Structure 1
Amino acid sequence: MKKLVIKDIAEQLQVSKSTISFVLNGKARQHGISIKLENKILKYVEKVGYQPSRIAVGLSTGKSKTIGMLVEDISDPFFSSIARVVERSALSSGYRVIYGSTENDTVQAIDLLQAFRNHNVDGYIIAPPPGIENYIQELITDGFPVVVFDRDLPGLNCDKVLIDNFDGALQAVEHLVARQFKNIAMVTLLSRQNQMEERTNGYLKAIDDAGLAKKIKQIPYDLEKPKCVEVIRKFLAGQKTIDAVFFSTNYLALSGIEAIRQLGLRVAEDIGIVVFDDNTNFELFSPSISAVAQPVKQIGEQVTQIMLNRLQANTPAGFERVVLKTTLIARESTVNEVPALVK
């Protein structure tokens, strides 16, 4: 079936295309269109189920009813879960969401922001890689609402929904200390991202408070998994006193668990593990993996509500900064004792 366009409606009702457009965009009174004709057009549009193109509406109203969302990797469970919450919440208010993955690459992020702008999106929800502060500031200066989430860009004034990464990491390492682990290493990314620095600072605070020696291994973000496994394996093999590891991301933990297996070590019995950012698979592992869970649903709801408030001009003049707490989920990987066999 041929899709209806404004021209078809105009021909059927024997009025001009501009008259149809003015009515559909709520500008009938401004252009002297009678209530009777307006109602006639609206009833016909409802009858035939006409849906205007969002791009066309955007060109005529300056609003596309579309939100652009930039994440590090849309296939990552953390970001995809947040995106689902954002999409559902936005849709209930008549907005669509389009996505892009930056792969933590500044140039790619800038290209995506430009593509979103060319698409006439109304607002931007961004998990920013380093180096795009000026481009985000340009969006804000031009009047676009921007909500930054997951990682901060200090010095950039905009709405932000963040996680208390420092406290989450602190609790994770304090948990290992309480379980009597004495040589606790941290495997993290070689990254200038604010959230990674906060997680490292949380680790260092817990280690210093316990009077233990710090051991940190930084791994490049773009390292392929086999190489990442190899780097972690060599690190652990060269530090045989390590009895526990705090991984700053779940994908580093997956590589780390493989490295531990290759070394012939047993999780919980030979080496404890706690991970920042829970993964639905971690509780299914044997032994199950202790993790810091981020409030995914809250993050998605908060960023969407702030964005919708901005788009609907229903918000205070000042920017909002929301900092959410994490939850430590203790599982079998941090038991630090082998149960006696039942004879």
Structure 2
Amino acid sequence: MPQKRLSIVDIANQLNISKTTVSFILNGRAQEKRISAELVERVLKLVKEVGYKPNSLAKSLRTGKSNIIGLMVEDISNPFFSSIARLIEDRAYENGYKIIYCSTYNNTEKTKDLIGMFRDRHVDGYIIAPPEGIEDDVSDLLKDNLPVVLFDRYLPLVDTDYIIVNNLFSAYNATQHLIGQGYKNIALLTFFSNQSQMQDRAKGYKMALKENNLKPILKELTFNQNPKYLVEPITSFLRKRKDIDAIIFGTNHIGTCGLKVINNLGISIPSDLAVVSFDDSDVYELHSPPITAISQPTEEIANNVITTLLSKLNPAAENVKTHAITLHTELAIRGSSKK
């Protein structure tokens, strides 16, 4: 049988003192409550001997703080989200907070369940890359004075803090780059989504084409985190549309799958097909030729996200205004898009 977890009551009974006294000592309030140094030493010695660990959930119920932040992203294995999660975790830890993070896979019901789980664990604040359909859940958190910071995309109907990049201009700029290189039949492969970031990328792409009297070639894929379910539709598209001379991948997830398909079909980059992708990664730099990519400022995104949330968690801060921050990307031009 597993050994019974010791409680403050057990510590108090063994020393024949009150549990309140033990609690004051363990919470660093011995001097404030004028508890003798000799008694403090006895309590701490016993705590060390028996390996007592406080119940964090019970402590959060008493204090109203868990010093835990819930971080919810689309896919924690995605290089973009994992790098941001690591940077947020480092900053949070420096400020006395720990991170619990999870992947939503853009699933609305799963996200709702995860928010409920975080509520049960009394997390102090939420950082979310939100899927569609969770507006009411985020609004309920805000009504309960639980700070929420959104990133990568936002919810237009919810008044909360968010940090995004200029997706519309980023896609516009990448498309203009391809047009400037002489490409005319430029396709955009993206996910079918009403999320703000995906909508803005499609708008920027179409805007650049319209300015140059070119027609859009838009292929929208059903989101799936498993690459094997994206290979077939991308393969089918490239086989049917042999007229395209350039392609923009709307995310790095689509981009890595797309490069595998291009390689399998024996398509040469850039002589047969120029390539640009959202979200830079080491894979793109190591590819031959290196892939032109829209690089998001991950460190700047992470710093703004955690700084904004920490400002809302600061008990001394009152009526901190809502932040809507838009950051700039960089188009890293490489061999895959040059004629």
Q: Do these two structures clear the TM 0.5 threshold for a shared fold by scoring above it? A: yes
Deviation, structure 1 residue 217:
0.4
Structure 1 unaligned residues grouped into runs of 5+: 337-343
Deviation, structure 1 residue 176:
0.8
SS in 2 for 1:186: strand
Which deviates the most, 298-307 or 128-137?
298-307
SS in 1 for 2:84: helix
For 1:335, give the aligned amino acid.
K
Alpha-carbon distance in structure 2 between the residues aligned to 1:225 and 1:22: 54
Aligned to 1:204: 206
Which deviates the most, 242-251 or 316-325?
316-325
Alpha-carbon distance in structure 2 between the residues aligned to 1:247 and 1:34: 63
In the alignment, is the contact (CA less than 8 A) between 2:124 and 2:146 conserved in 1?
yes
Alpha-carbon distance in structure 1 between the residues aligned to 2:267 and 2:212: 25
Does residue 326 of the first structure (1) align with residue 329 of the second (2)? Answer: yes
Alpha-carbon distance in structure 1 between the residues aligned to 2:328 and 2:68: 30
In the alignment, is the contact (CA less than 8 A) between 1:25 and 1:61 conserved in 2?
no
SS in 1 for 2:282: coil
In the alignment, is the contact (CA less than 8 A) between 1:124 and 1:146 conserved in 2?
yes
Does residue 231 of the first structure (1) align with residue 208 of the second (2)? Answer: no
1:257-276 → structure 2 map (5 Å cutoff): 257-276=259-278
Aligned to 1:255: 257
For 1:15, give the aligned amino acid.
I
In the alignment, is the contact (CA less than 8 A) between 1:127 and 1:150 conserved in 2?
yes
Alpha-carbon distance in structure 2 between the residues aligned to 1:200 and 1:118: 38
| Cα-to-partner distance string for 1:270-322 (whole Å, 9 max, x where unaligned) | 11000011122110001111100111111111111111111113545321111
Deviation, structure 1 residue 261:
2.1
Alpha-carbon distance in structure 2 between the residues aligned to 1:188 and 1:77: 18
SS in 2 for 1:281: helix
CA RMSD of aligned residues (A): 2.4
Does residue 335 of the first structure (1) align with residue 338 of the second (2)? Answer: yes
| Cα-to-partner distance string for 1:41-60 (whole Å, 9 max, x where unaligned) | 38954996665332221021
Aligned to 2:320: 317
Alpha-carbon distance in structure 2 between the residues aligned to 1:268 and 1:136: 44
For 2:34, give the aligned amino acid.
I
Alpha-carbon distance in structure 2 between the residues aligned to 1:223 and 1:28: 52
When residues 39 and 79 of structure 1 are mapped into structure 2, their CA distance, relative to the original with a 3 A threshold, is: farther
For 2:320, give the aligned amino acid.
A
Alpha-carbon distance in structure 2 between the residues aligned to 1:331 and 1:224: 28
Deviation, structure 1 residue 14:
3.6
In the alignment, is the contact (CA less than 8 A) between 1:54 and 1:65 conserved in 2?
no
| Cα-to-partner distance string for 1:62-103 (whole Å, 9 max, x where unaligned) | 111111111111111111111111111111111111012111
When residues 67 and 129 of structure 1 are mapped into structure 2, their CA distance, relative to the original with a 3 A threshold, is: same
Alpha-carbon distance in structure 1 between the residues aligned to 2:128 and 2:107: 13
1:1-343 → structure 2 map (5 Å cutoff): 5-7=7-9, 9-11=11-13, 13-25=15-27, 34-37=33-36, 40-41=39-40, 45=44, 52-222=54-224, 224-315=226-317, 316-336=319-339
In the alignment, is the contact (CA less than 8 A) between 2:22 and 2:43 conserved in 1?
no
